[in-house]
Amino acid sequence: MTAAEPEFKNPDLSLASRDDALPGLPWLLDNTRLSSLLGETVRVTRVRYKPRTSLLVAFRRIRNGAFDYGWAMTRTPAGNAKLLRRELTSRSRSGGIRVLRPDPRQDDNLVAVGGVEDDWVLYGNLLWLREHGLERLGLQHRPGALLAGAGSTLAGAGSVLRYKPERRLVLFVPNSGAPVVIKAAATPAGAEQQAHFLERLNLHGVPHLTQLGDAECLEHGISACAAWGGGDLAGLDDDSGAVSAGEALARLHGIPLGGFPAGPEVWRDEIAAQLRATRTMVASLLPDLEEPARRMEAELRTRLLTDGTASKYVLVHGDFSADQVLVGGSEVRLIDFDRARTGVAEADLGSFAAAEEAVRAEASGGPTGPARGTGGAGGPKTARLSEGYAGAGGRFTPAGVDAWAAFRLFNSSVDPFRDRSPEWAADMSWHLRRAKELIS
């Protein structure tokens, strides 16, 4: 960290002192204090923060020799009645939600805690999965196993891959055949729209995973597929896999747009909204970075929404990165099309490049190291991806890729805070600096 940059010695304490509307904030941002409150050792893995409104966190712990997940939430005193109602409702259905008082001197300081099985938003879909969905996915039904705790979530041996409270739960479940990966989402997928999308992928040769279940599963937010491959491209040093991923991406971008909802106008509005939301959150988390974030927002709006960086719109993945590419031998599969929509090719290529930059920066010394990369956005995997993409007929502009890489770096600048990076303030600063370099 250079002398010209802000120095963030204890950003969590600083944030808690500024947001006095949430007296429970210090307990949920500190693993030691939260562990003391819960009476067991936990580590916060994800947070969702609404300034002066609420803080919701996911935490991980070890129970019976396996990882288990739970959540904790604090609200303003005006929102405490909602937490208490949830506790009562949970008790009435034999659930495990508890409301705790971290500081006996503060009657309005409440923290609600529960397990994954008590997630207020996901509960209904998880209950349906336990009672009706397992057999539809070809899994053996063992009564009572699903909501017995996240560490033994399904069939007594499932494990949690990812958990975002009130958003989604991703489970890995052993099976007599191939293991199954199940995602329970808060927002159901439209079965008809999903079927139409998968049909287009098949028609145009986009390699993806065959989906299990049926329309009723989708209506209850449940999707699943058999586990496949030897890992994702982010964790593998596989040049041929990156080339194949580029070829697959070109096929995705070649799918005609007819029949897909969200057109260019909606997409542009969403881009503007993302920029605005990121700038606002950066300002709330680190006021010293508010002005740089405001300048970056303005520059990206001009580059992406006024100047234009591509000749035509295509169907984009929407969240493309190396960990969205599974590799199995000489084949690849693209996954997680939840954000697929109308966009520009450079958005996916830039997203991939930005994600690679962040990984490489962490591997080379973390956020306190130099921000500047060599040449354009990305690294070796981006270069091979672009090679495969162009070889399969894909077209893009390097300047556009850099601009969209800057967009992803800017928007993901708040992820180190959400993912509880120990150096999240310095990480945020690095993201903003590198984004600026790419469009300077």
Q: Does 11-114 match 233-439 in CATH topology?
A: no
Going by the DSSP 8-state scheme, the letter that residue 422 receives in this structure is T
Residues 11-114, CATH architecture: 2-Layer Sandwich (3.30)
The residue-averaged pLDDT of 393-415 equals 97
CB within 8 Å of 208: residues ≥ 6 apart? 198, 201, 333, 334, 335, 337
Mean pLDDT in residue range 374-379? 82
- Three-state SS at 47: strand
Amino acid found at 134: L
Q: Which fold has domain 233-439?
A: Aminoglycoside 3'-phosphotransferase; Chain: A, domain 2 (3.90.1200)
Average pLDDT, the chain: 90
Digit-coded pLDDT (tens) for 286-338: 999 999 999 999 999 999 987 554 568 999 999 999 999 999 999 999 999 99
Amino acid identity, position 216: E
Spatial separation of the C-alpha atoms in residues 129 and 146, rounded to whole Å: 8
Tokens of 100: 């705790």
Contacts of range 300-306, beta carbons closer than 8 Å, 24 or more positions apart: 300/275, 300/403, 300/406, 300/407, 300/410, 300/435, 300/439, 301/272, 301/275, 303/403, 303/406, 303/439, 304/271, 304/403, 304/404, 304/407, 305/268, 305/271, 305/272
CA-to-CA distance for 9 and 53, rounded, in angstroms?
Answer: 25
Rounded (5°) CA angle 399-401-403: 70
- Res 377: pLDDT: 95
| CA–CA gap between residue 283 and residue 176 (Å, rounded) | 51
Report pTM.
0.92
- Domain assignments of the chain as residue spans, ordered by start: 11-114, 123-226, 233-439
Q: Where are the beta strands (DSSP E) in 246-353?
A: 314-316, 325-328, 331-334, 341-343
229-243 pLDDT, tens per residue? 999 999 998 899 999
Report how far residue 401's alpha carbon sits from residue 351's, in angstroms, rounded to the nearest whole number. 8
What contacts 300, CB < 8 A, 6 or more positions away? 275, 403, 406, 407, 410, 435, 439
In the block, which residue shows the tokens 């990984």?
359
How many helices (H) and strands (E) in the chain? 16, 14
Count how many Cα atoms sit within 13 Å of the Cα of residue 31 in the half-sphere of its side chain: 12
Long-range CB pairs of 360-363 (<8 Å, 24+ gap) are 361/430, 361/434
| Gap between the Cα atoms of 219 and 235, Å rounded | 33
Among the residues of 335-423, which ranges form H helices? 345-363, 380-391, 398-411, 415-418
Note the pLDDT tens digit of each residue in 167-202: 999 999 888 778 999 999 998 878 778 888 999 999
Cβ-in-10-Å burial (0-12, 13-18, 19+) of 437 comes to middle
| Measured distance CA(291)–CA(274) in Å, rounded | 17
For residue 202, the model assigns a pLDDT of: 96
Model confidence at 149, in pLDDT bands (50, 70, 90)?
very low
Most confident of 121-130, 361-370, 401-410: 401-410
Residue 63 has pLDDT above 70, yes or no: yes
How far apart CA 54 and CA 78 sit, in angstroms, is 11
Q: What is the rounded CA–CA span in Å between residue 159 and residue 149?
A: 10
Q: Could you tell me the two tokens for 210?
A: 């065959």
C-alpha–C-alpha distance, residues 34 and 249, integer Å: 43
* 170 alpha-carbon distance from chain centroid: 12
155 pLDDT exceeds 60?
no
